[in-house]
Amino acid sequence: MTAPLHEPTAETAPSAAEEAAVAGTEAKAVQGRSLGRIAWERLKRDKLALAGGVVVLLLIAVALLAPVITALVGQDPESHHEDLIDPLFGTPIGSFGGISGEHLLGIEPVNGRDIFARIVYGARISLLVGFLSAIVAVIIGTVLGILAGFFGGWVDALISRVMDGLLAFPQLLFIIALVSVMPNDMLGLSGTGVRLLMMILVIGFFGWPYIGRVVRGQTLSMREREYVEAARSLGAGRFYILFKELLPNLVAPIIVYTTMMIPTNILTEAALSFLGVGVKPPTASWGQMLSSAIDYYQSDPMYMVIPGVAIFITVLAFNLFGDGVRDALDPKGSR
Amino acid sequence: MLAYLIRRLFAAAVMLVVIILVVFSIFFLFPKWAGVDIALSFVGKQAGPDAVEAVRLKLGLDDPVFIQAWEFFKGLFAGRTYAAGGDVTHCSAPCFGYSFRTEQSVWPVLTERFPVTLALALGAAVLWLIFGLAAGVLSALKRGTLWDRAAMIVALSGVSLPIYFTGLLSLAIFSHGLGWINAEFVPLEDSFTGWLGGMILPWITLAFLYAAMYARITRATMLEILGEDYIRTARAKGLREQVVIRKHAMRSTMTPILTMLGMDIGALMGGAILTETTFSLPGLGQKVLDAIRTQDLPFILGVTLITSVAVLVANLVVDILYAVIDPRVRLA
């Protein structure tokens, strides 16, 4: 713990403030820089986490620019190319699942849709569900977590019981149950739209206890601190204390748990689409592609490998980045 | 101890009622609010309006909600008779529902499939406990070494891989490519070696995911505990390092792991849906998938309920085990 947080090196000449910080005590160093700054300094030294972060940014760019990217290679995710399919076996003509200059990652069996374009569009579904359901979870979890920690008593008992219950039960099964009883059209949406909305809400709903538990614990330990007491003695109301005094101090743990939740959500979306309760064809989703690939894992293994690798890289990148963010924001961490 | 036991059992009973109500709400209340025709989703469009109407009567969907809930609840313990005019269907206790689509009670179908699910879960649990714990403990003790880094990268990859993808890969490589294993499922009664051959890849696939999770958590817990004062005390009083690790550090590390293990095995009693689907194992999880495909809601309901009860029981067992191991728990 005696090691300075930031070691000056030849190429990063430290500014006067940083020099003082390094020379001074650790407490002083922390005082001199914001939490974000400290975290960034630590994150910068974590090469794996940075690599994860770069991949995440690339994926977001791919998802946003999906139409542009597919237009550049002259393909789209829903056109059929039956002429490139072996009529006897239903598999693509050519080696490695029909990979060619035209079709960068080959084509799907039977209907010959371009796999590259479907992977690019699939990134949209994965990231959309991953991020939005995390946001749903953060909102519910933060609000209920703060309420439980701050008010204590029966409010806390009730919320904590609900969180324990939700955490204990097999989520995938409950999500399947909920998604399968839901209507095919609601709120003016239908088809893929309604399925996406359902997945986002349901995954978010089952994710909030993870955030809620952490927020509750932090709130519980902070509500008796001097600065809260000071605010109270100055006549601050409950809600002022909740949102102006406590919430800013919860930002770090909330960020950490959100980053770690996104890859799990992406895996859940893929699993749901794999099982056929998520996004359905012709809309492209990685999980759904893997599910159709089951029947061809012997005759056309590339069809299975490509979406699998896409999920793996995405989730791994988010996990690496998330672990890095956690270590960087952890006040106890000396790594 | 007896007082603790009674308290725990009572809490579990209350929880059981809550679970039943929650499952009932998922299948009968939410759809109602969302404006879904429940009778139609239970029997399917192809059945025709008369059949849908009969199911509506049989399930008593026009009755007040609390009567429906009571009938559902009662059916679980005393059996249930669905009647629409002269058309009577009986579902004996425990009535986990009745599939109007296939005209079967849910419970017998599920009990028939349960042994496969049980074998998958227990076999995998043995593997993941051994490898997950070993990897986690070694990584914590050799923190920062090449071994630690390698093990943690493998573990991180393990939790990042969708299980159905690892499953398919292992099938493509070991069964189809190298031809080492004939991965067809064979019932245990037919042939022991055939059964073993069919189970080995599912076991390894499922265990790989859980071993990765357990290794990460074991390492983190162990590192935290190694930093505690009582470990320093144990070392300071001259205990051999081996004793410090085994008797002091390991014991505390095992506590949260035991809780996790109980929950995970409990949850797997409802079937590892993804693993069973990938390897075509005829367990509960595969039934869920079939039920999704054929829109046969009673089976989804049945498995959801069974799994929840299994988790509840697992929790109870873990709690009681704690009380046996650690007397302080009984007073808490």
Q: Which residue of A has its CA nearest to B265?
A: A170
What three-state secondary structure class fits B96? coil
**Rounded distance, CA B160 to CA B147, Å?**
20
- In this predicted structure, the answer to whether residue A23 has a pLDDT above a threshold of 60 is no
Query: How many alpha carbons lie under 13 Å from residue A144 in its C-beta half-sphere?
Result: 22
Cα pseudo-dihedral A205, A209, A214, A219, rounded to 10: 80
For residue A107, give the DSSP letter: B
| B34:A276 CB<8 A | no
Paired residues of A169 in beta bridges: none
Give the pLDDT score at B126: 94
**β A189-190/B104-105 pair status:** unpaired
| Chain B residues near any Cβ of chain A (below 8 Å) | 15, 18, 23, 26-27, 30-31, 34-36, 41, 156-157, 159-162, 164-165, 168-169, 171-172, 176, 263, 267, 270, 273-274, 277-278, 288-289, 292-293, 295, 297, 300-301, 303-304, 307-308, 311, 315
| B26:A298 CB<8 A | no
- In this predicted structure, the answer to whether residue A131 has a pLDDT above a threshold of 90 is yes
Q: What is the least distance, in Å, from the CA of A178 to any CA of chain B?
A: 6
Is A20 inside any structural domain? Answer: no
Band of residue A187 on the pLDDT scale cut at 50, 70, 90: low
**Rounded distance, CA A147 to CA A219, Å?**
9
Is A134 inside any structural domain? Answer: yes
B297 CB neighbours in chain A (<8 A) are 180-181
- Closest CB to B164: pick one of A168, A183, A290: A290
Band of residue A138 on the pLDDT scale cut at 50, 70, 90: very high
Reference B97, options B302, B287, B305; nearest CA is B302
Give the pLDDT score at B332: 55
Band of residue A33 on the pLDDT scale cut at 50, 70, 90: low
Q: Residue B190: is it exposed, middle or buried by C-beta count within 10 angstroms (0-12/13-18/19+)?
A: exposed
**Rounded distance, CA A201 to CA A178, Å?**
10
Q: What is the least distance, in Å, from the CA of B35 to any CA of chain A?
A: 7
Mean pLDDT of chain A: 78
Domain residues for the domain of A112 are 63-334
Gyration radius from chain B CA atoms: 24
Query: How many alpha carbons lie under 13 Å from residue B186 in its C-beta half-sphere?
Result: 16
A287 CB neighbours in chain B (<8 A) are 162
> Tokens representing A290?
């893997």
A311 CB neighbours in chain B (<8 A) are 161-162, 165
Q: Which residue of B has its CA nearest to A186?
A: B34
| A267:B169 CB<8 A | no
| A311:B162 CB<8 A | yes
CA distances from B193 to B182, B186, B203 (A): 10, 9, 15
A112-126, A184-198, A314-328, B222-236: range with lowest mean pLDDT: A184-198
Q: Which amino acid is at B330?
A: R
Cα pseudo-dihedral B96, B99, B104, B107, rounded to 10: -20
Is A138 inside any structural domain? Answer: yes
Give the pLDDT score at A15: 45
**Best residue in B61, B160, B226 for a mutation probing chain A (most A CBs within 10 Å):** B160
pLDDT digits 0-9 by tens, A86-97: 666 667 766 666
DSSP H or E stretch at residue B105 = strand B104-105
- Closest CB to A174: pick one of B34, B277, B304: B304
Sign of CA dihedral B274, B278, B281, B282: positive
Is A43 inside any structural domain? Answer: no
Band of residue A101 on the pLDDT scale cut at 50, 70, 90: low
User: Can you give the pTM of this predicted structure?
Assistant: 0.83
**Rounded distance, CA B2 to CA A325, Å?**
47
Please, are residues A233 and A274 in contact by the beta-carbon 8 Å criterion?
no
- Closest CB to B26: pick one of A168, A177, A276: A177
Is A174 inside any structural domain? Answer: yes
A1-15, A309-323, B129-143, B178-192: range with lowest mean pLDDT: A1-15
Tell me which residue has tokens 């509960």. B284
- The count of residues in chain A is 335
**Rounded distance, CA A314 to CA A317, Å?**
5
Query: How many alpha carbons lie under 13 Å from residue A3 in its C-beta half-sphere?
Result: 9
Percent residues over pLDDT 90 in chain A: 14
Is A135 inside any structural domain? Answer: yes
Percent residues over pLDDT 70 in chain A: 79
DSSP H or E stretch at residue B82 = strand B80-84
| A180:B168 CB<8 A | no
Is A51 inside any structural domain? Answer: no
Phi, psi of A79 (to 5 degrees): -75, 145
Is A193 inside any structural domain? Answer: yes
CA distances from A230 to A31, A66, A150, B41 (A): 20, 52, 16, 58
CA distances from B311 to A209, A275, B32 (A): 17, 23, 28
- Count of other CB atoms within 10 angstroms of residue A283: 21
Q: What is the least distance, in Å, from the CA of B242 to any CA of chain A?
A: 26
- In this predicted structure, the answer to whether residue A176 has a pLDDT above a threshold of 60 is yes
- Closest CB to B162: pick one of A168, A169, A267: A267
Band of residue A17 on the pLDDT scale cut at 50, 70, 90: very low
Give the pLDDT score at A168: 74
**Rounded distance, CA B83 to CA B98, Å?**
12
- Closest CB to B168: pick one of A176, A275, A304: A304
pLDDT digits 0-9 by tens, A243-296: 788 888 888 888 888 888 999 999 999 998 888 888 887 788 898 888 888 888
- In this predicted structure, the answer to whether residue A1 has a pLDDT above a threshold of 50 is no
Size of interface A-B (CB pairs under 8 A): 121
Reference B273, options B264, B284, B258; nearest CA is B284
Band of residue A55 on the pLDDT scale cut at 50, 70, 90: very high
CA distances from A64 to A58, A120, A125, A261, B255 (A): 10, 10, 11, 21, 45
- The yes/no answer to whether this complex scores an ipTM above 0.85 is no
Say how many domains are in chain A.
1
- Domain of A154: which CATH number? 1.10.3720.10
Arithmetic mean of pLDDT, A190-216: 85
Q: What is the least distance, in Å, from the CA of B136 to any CA of chain A?
A: 17
Q: State which residues of chain B have pLDDT below 70.
A: 44-45, 86, 329-332
pLDDT digits 0-9 by tens, B66-105: 888 888 887 788 777 777 776 777 777 787 878 777 778 8
Residues 132-191 on A with a CB inside 8 Å of B are 165, 168-170, 172-174, 176-178, 180-183, 186
Gyration radius from chain A CA atoms: 24
Long-range CB pairs of A49-52, under 8 A, 24+ apart, other chains included: A49/A320, A49/A321, A49/A323, A49/A324, A49/A325, A49/A327, A49/A328, A50/A324, A51/A317, A51/A320, A52/A316, A52/A317, A52/A318, A52/A319, A52/A320, A52/A321, A52/A322, A52/A324
Q: Residue B282: is it exposed, middle or buried by C-beta count within 10 angstroms (0-12/13-18/19+)?
A: middle
- In this predicted structure, the answer to whether residue A26 has a pLDDT above a threshold of 50 is no
Q: Among the residues of chain B, which ranges form H helices?
A: 2-24, 30-33, 38-43, 49-59, 65-78, 106-141, 146-160, 163-170, 192-226, 229-236, 241-243, 250-268, 273-279, 284-293, 297-325, 328-331
